[in-house]
Amino acid sequence: MVNFEQRNIKGGTLSNVAIEGKDPQFDAWLSEQLQFDEPYLDDDGFCESVMAKLPAPSQQSERRASRFQYIAVLAASGIVAWQFPFGEVLSEAAHQSISLYSLVGVGMLSSLVVMAGGIFAARR
């Protein structure tokens, strides 16, 4: 196997062309490394039998996972809210115009909706 990093180092770092992804030598080396040429090892159905013996996930464990996801989202939202200077932003927005104040509220609401949507998508 050819070590591309050792061949393409110029001055102790990779060339800018390789870093930007425009180097045909790097592309050839990468495609060579990504080839999976190892033979399949037949295990006479061992993996399938082990997977069949595993218990099915219970409804309780799925609910527990959902609770942890909700708690994580609430904790992350709390940390962001704690660090964000809402008082200053809201007072400045009220002085500027009501549309900016509404924009901040819409942004906060949309971020909560996106996080909740991510949880629902992960549960499916």
Q: What digits encode the pLDDT tens for the residues 33-92?
A: 787 777 777 888 898 899 999 988 777 777 777 888 889 988 998 898 888 887 887 777
Tokens of 120: 């629902």
pLDDT given at position 92: 76
Under 8 Å between Cβ of 105 and 111: no
What is the average pLDDT across 82-110?
75
Which pLDDT band holds residue 15 (cuts at 50, 70, 90)? low
Task: Report the alpha-carbon angle 10-11-16, nearest 5.
Answer: 55
H/E element holding 10? strand 9-10
Which range, of 2-6, 25-29, 65-69, 110-114, averages the lowest pLDDT? Answer: 2-6
H/E element holding 14? strand 13-14
